[in-house]
Amino acid sequence: MKLEEIKPGQEVMILNLSGKEDILEKIKAMGLRKGRKIALIQKVGRNLLLKVDNSRIVISREIAKNIEVQ
């Protein structure tokens, strides 16, 4: 399943991040990486608000398309 498809309130685990953009390295460093549990808090407009550990991260849908979760 893609991260983009899950619903607010759901908790999932990241399986894989694909894509080549530099920004991916940044979001990995922000905690979005393989094996981490994340929860989707809110979807507003083109963005997703995620909770990873104790931090909250906003990413746009285009990036979420590249994130495979379970």
Partner 1 sequence: MKTIRVALAGNPNVGKTSLLNHLAGTNLKVGNWPGVTVEKKEGKVKFWDYEIHLIDLPGIYTLEPLSEDEWVAYNYLTTEKPDLILNVIETPNMERDLLLTVELLELEIPMILVLNMVDEAQKLGIEVREERLSDLLGVRVLKTNARTGEGVKALLPHIVEVFNSKEKPKALRYSKELEEVLQKAMETGQETKAKLIRKLSTEDRFKEYRESLKRIYAKDVYEIVKDERYATAHGIYKEVVIRRSLTARDITDSIDKLLLHPWFGIPIFLLVMFLVFKISFDFSSPFMDWIDGFIKDFLSPLTLQALDAIGVGEIIKRVVAEAIIGGVGFVFTFLPLIAVIYFMLSLLEFSGYLPRIAFLMDRFMHRLGLHGKSLVPLLLGFGCNVPAIVATKTLETKRDKLLVIAMIPFMSCPARLVVFSFFAVIFFKNPATVIFSLYLLGILTALLTAFVLRKTLFRGSLYHFVMELPPYRLPTLRLLLRVVWVYVKDFLYRAGTLIFAASVVIWLLLNLPPGVKNPSESIAGYIGKTISPIFAPLGLDDWRMSTSLIPAFLAREIVLSSMATIYAVESQEDKKEFNALKALKEQGISLLLAFKEAFINLFNPVPTAFEVEEGSVDGLKGIIAKSLSPASGLAFMVFLLLYTSCLGTVAVMWREAGKRFALLFLAYSFAVGWFFGLLAYRIGSLIWST
Q: Is 65 in the site for partner 1 (CB under 8 A)?
A: no
Residues with Cβ < 8 Å from 49, sequence gap 6 or more? 40, 41, 42, 43, 56, 57, 58
Q: Is 23 in the site for partner 1 (CB under 8 A)?
A: yes
Q: Is 31 in the site for partner 1 (CB under 8 A)?
A: yes
Q: Is 16 in the site for partner 1 (CB under 8 A)?
A: no
d(CA 42, CA 34): 21
Q: What is the largest CA-CA distance in the chain?
A: 29
Of 5, 13, 37, 56, which one interacts with partner 1 (CB under 8 A)? Answer: 56
Residues binding partner 1 (CB under 8 A): 21-23, 25-31, 33, 41-47, 49, 51-60, 62-63
